[in-house]
Structure formats: structure tokens, C-alpha cells
Amino acid sequence: MARFSVAYASSEGRTRLVVDHLADALRAQGHQVTVDDVGTPNAAEAVALADAVVLAGSIHGGRLQPRLVRFASAHGVALSEHPSALMIVSMSAASSDATVRERQHEYLASFLAATPWRPDVVEFVAGALRPDTLGPLRRSQAARVARHVGVDPKGEVDFTDWGSVKRFAESLARWFPRVGVPIRAPGRQEPN
């Protein structure tokens, strides 16, 4: 059994819902999982004690939450000591439009430019459109994205592929093929 730390920033609760599903899928495979908001002292402690780490945040106004960026910057060394993943929740992940999908990589590049941490794996997860939870400016931005995705910008729509979240958890669990025997994450270089 491996110890996973899942630390997240959530603006309207969607990212928290996604990480809860991720944590449940990891637990179903026999792993121990802590889930902490990056704004709590528990998050840094859980990262330090973990065998693997997942940071998760959502895109708002073209960027990940500033508190997620601050956490990754402040704890970049500790994050880099473990196999790690970044999960980005964004409505653009639901789009089939190449231009909209390319924006995801711009969001990622902006995040990586602001922090020393380099995740081993990045997963983009489609979020949900919930205009009733947004103020006027963000509702206007969400409506623009909704039109790109091809849905009614006034209604609530769940774009999250829950099967994909489960498959992502299964791929993370493969970092630890035998109970209690951690291995290096895919693509991570062994120290000399």
C-alpha cells in the first residue's frame, strides 16, 4: 500500500469533487490517501509523508488558482522528491476544438513558469458549467467557453468523464506495482 497525498485548490467545489473521486479510486486499489486543501497546514505535512503526490486545481480567468501556484512554489522541493502529478480541471478539456484544447497547454506553461516543481504526469479533466454559481464577469467568460464547447451557456452541464478520472487513478497506482514497494514515476530520471 502506497501513501498518496492529494492537495487541491477549488473555487466552486468542482475540483474537490474530482479529487474525491480520484481518492476513492486509489483507495479501492488498496492505497492510503489524504485529501487536503492547499490552504491548510495539513497539505504540506501530507506531501512530506507521502509516497506520491497529486496537486489539482482548476482554470479560472485563464490561469490556475494563485494559491495552488503559491503552494507548488513554496513546496517545490518536497513535491519533487516524490512521483507526482498535476490534475487540471478545465472546461476546455471538453472541447474538440484544437484551438481551445491548445489553450490548456498555455495554462500549463504559465503554471510551470511560475513554480520550480515539474510534475511527472499532467492530466486535463473536463469540469462543469454551473453559471448560477458565478458572478457576472465569470459568467460571461464561462458563456464564451460554453459556446466553443457547443452547449447552452445558461444551463448546468457536467463535462467530467468520471471513467477517465478512475483510469487516471489506476495509472497512478501502477507507480506502486506491489504493496509497499515504491518505484520511480514514468519518465523520472534515477539519481546518479
The pTM of this model reads 0.75
| pLDDT tens digits along 93-107 | 655 666 666 777 788
**143 pLDDT exceeds 70?**
no
Mean pLDDT of all residues in the chain? 78
- Across 68-75, average pLDDT: 92
Amino acid at 70: R
Buried-exposed string 67-90: b where 16+ CB fall within 10 A, e elsewhere = ebbebbeebeebbeebbbbbbbbb
Q: What domains sit in the chain, N to C, each tagged with a CATH number?
A: 3-173 (3.40.50.360)
> What confidence tier does 157 reach under pLDDT thresholds 50, 70, 90?
low
**168 pLDDT exceeds 70?**
yes
Higher pLDDT: 69 or 14? It is 69
Closest CA to 175 of 98, 83, 43, 54: 83
Closest CA to 56 of 2, 16, 25, 4: 16
| pLDDT tens digits along 21-59 | 999 999 998 999 999 999 998 999 999 999 999 999 988
**7 pLDDT exceeds 80?**
yes
Higher pLDDT: 161 or 4? It is 4
Range name among 2-6, 102-106, 164-168, 185-189 with the lowest pLDDT average: 185-189
Residue 85 Rama label (left phi>0; alpha psi -120 to 50; beta): beta
**130 pLDDT exceeds 80?**
no
Q: What is the pLDDT of residue 179?
A: 42
Q: What is the pLDDT of residue 43?
A: 94
